[in-house]
Amino acid sequence: MSVERTGEPFDRVDAARGKALLDEGTLKLVDVREPAEWNRGRIAGAVLVPLNNLLVSPREYLSGDGVLFYCAQGIRSAVACEVAAAVGLSRIYNLEGGIQEWEAQGYPVDR
Protein backbone atom coordinates (compact mmCIF):
# COMPACT_ATOMS: atom_id res chain seq x y z
CA MET A 1 0.00 0.00 0.00
CA SER A 2 1.56 3.24 -1.03
CA VAL A 3 1.00 6.96 -0.75
CA GLU A 4 3.02 9.08 -3.14
CA ARG A 5 4.08 12.51 -1.79
CA THR A 6 4.58 14.92 -4.67
CA GLY A 7 4.35 18.39 -3.14
CA GLU A 8 0.79 18.60 -4.43
CA PRO A 9 -2.02 19.56 -2.04
CA PHE A 10 -3.33 15.98 -2.16
CA ASP A 11 -2.07 12.42 -1.78
CA ARG A 12 -1.89 10.00 -4.68
CA VAL A 13 -2.88 6.51 -3.50
CA ASP A 14 -2.86 3.16 -5.22
CA ALA A 15 -5.87 0.84 -5.23
CA ALA A 16 -4.75 -1.06 -2.12
CA ARG A 17 -4.29 2.11 -0.07
CA GLY A 18 -7.53 3.55 -1.43
CA LYS A 19 -9.40 0.43 -0.36
CA ALA A 20 -7.82 0.59 3.10
CA LEU A 21 -8.77 4.26 3.49
CA LEU A 22 -12.35 3.53 2.44
CA ASP A 23 -12.54 0.58 4.81
CA GLU A 24 -11.71 2.96 7.69
CA GLY A 25 -15.04 4.64 6.93
CA THR A 26 -13.88 8.23 7.36
CA LEU A 27 -13.75 9.37 3.71
CA LYS A 28 -16.32 10.41 1.16
CA LEU A 29 -15.86 8.71 -2.21
CA VAL A 30 -16.49 10.93 -5.23
CA ASP A 31 -16.60 9.66 -8.82
CA VAL A 32 -15.88 12.50 -11.26
CA ARG A 33 -16.65 10.56 -14.43
CA GLU A 34 -19.63 11.15 -16.71
CA PRO A 35 -23.03 9.48 -16.13
CA ALA A 36 -22.55 7.00 -18.99
CA GLU A 37 -19.30 5.80 -17.40
CA TRP A 38 -20.97 5.61 -13.98
CA ASN A 39 -23.72 3.44 -15.45
CA ARG A 40 -21.13 0.90 -16.65
CA GLY A 41 -19.82 0.40 -13.11
CA ARG A 42 -18.82 2.23 -9.95
CA ILE A 43 -17.12 1.69 -6.63
CA ALA A 44 -19.68 0.99 -3.90
CA GLY A 45 -20.54 4.01 -1.79
CA ALA A 46 -19.43 6.55 -4.39
CA VAL A 47 -21.31 9.72 -5.22
CA LEU A 48 -21.33 10.85 -8.85
CA VAL A 49 -20.17 14.44 -9.38
CA PRO A 50 -18.98 14.87 -12.98
CA LEU A 51 -15.82 16.94 -13.13
CA ASN A 52 -17.48 19.76 -15.08
CA ASN A 53 -20.14 20.13 -12.36
CA LEU A 54 -17.44 20.22 -9.70
CA LEU A 55 -15.51 22.88 -11.60
CA VAL A 56 -18.58 25.11 -11.87
CA SER A 57 -19.82 24.78 -8.26
CA PRO A 58 -17.20 23.15 -6.04
CA ARG A 59 -18.68 24.36 -2.74
CA GLU A 60 -22.02 22.81 -3.65
CA TYR A 61 -20.42 19.35 -3.71
CA LEU A 62 -17.52 19.65 -1.27
CA SER A 63 -18.92 20.32 2.17
CA GLY A 64 -16.33 18.62 4.34
CA ASP A 65 -12.80 17.33 4.50
CA GLY A 66 -11.74 13.77 3.80
CA VAL A 67 -12.43 12.95 0.15
CA LEU A 68 -11.14 10.22 -2.15
CA PHE A 69 -11.68 11.14 -5.81
CA TYR A 70 -11.58 8.71 -8.71
CA CYS A 71 -12.26 8.60 -12.43
CA ALA A 72 -11.33 6.11 -15.15
CA GLN A 73 -7.54 6.45 -14.89
CA GLY A 74 -6.79 9.10 -12.26
CA ILE A 75 -6.35 12.17 -14.45
CA ARG A 76 -9.71 13.91 -14.06
CA SER A 77 -9.73 13.01 -10.38
CA ALA A 78 -6.34 14.74 -9.94
CA VAL A 79 -7.96 17.91 -11.30
CA ALA A 80 -10.82 17.41 -8.82
CA CYS A 81 -8.24 17.14 -6.01
CA GLU A 82 -6.78 20.50 -7.03
CA VAL A 83 -10.27 22.04 -6.96
CA ALA A 84 -10.90 20.59 -3.50
CA ALA A 85 -7.64 22.07 -2.25
CA ALA A 86 -8.56 25.45 -3.76
CA VAL A 87 -11.74 25.58 -1.66
CA GLY A 88 -9.88 24.71 1.53
CA LEU A 89 -9.99 20.94 1.93
CA SER A 90 -6.80 19.36 3.22
CA ARG A 91 -7.45 15.60 3.50
CA ILE A 92 -7.69 14.86 -0.21
CA TYR A 93 -6.78 11.67 -2.06
CA ASN A 94 -6.54 10.75 -5.72
CA LEU A 95 -7.01 7.10 -6.72
CA GLU A 96 -4.13 6.58 -9.13
CA GLY A 97 -5.13 4.41 -12.06
CA GLY A 98 -8.77 5.11 -11.29
CA ILE A 99 -11.50 2.52 -11.43
CA GLN A 100 -9.56 0.66 -14.12
CA GLU A 101 -6.74 -0.10 -11.67
CA TRP A 102 -9.23 -0.73 -8.86
CA GLU A 103 -10.94 -3.39 -10.95
CA ALA A 104 -7.65 -4.82 -12.23
CA GLN A 105 -6.61 -5.42 -8.60
CA GLY A 106 -9.79 -7.44 -8.06
CA TYR A 107 -11.70 -4.96 -5.94
CA PRO A 108 -15.50 -4.98 -6.34
CA VAL A 109 -17.38 -2.76 -8.77
CA ASP A 110 -21.15 -2.27 -8.59
CA ARG A 111 -22.96 -2.57 -11.90
Q: Where are the domains of the chain?
A: 3-104
The pLDDT, as a whole number, for residue 58 is: 97
Contact 28, 47 (CB under 8 A): yes
The pLDDT, as a whole number, for residue 68 is: 98
β-bridge partners, 92: 67
Q: How far is CA 27 from CA 20, 36, 37, 44, in A?
A: 11, 24, 22, 13
Sign for the pseudo-dihedral over CA of 90, 91, 94, 99: negative
Contact 15, 3 (CB under 8 A): no
Say which CATH class 3-104 falls into: alpha beta
Global pTM exceeds 0.75 = yes
Per-residue pLDDT of the chain (111 residues; tens, 9 = 90+): 555 455 899 999 999 999 999 999 999 999 999 999 999 999 999 999 999 999 999 999 998 899 999 999 999 999 999 999 999 999 999 999 999 999 999 999 999
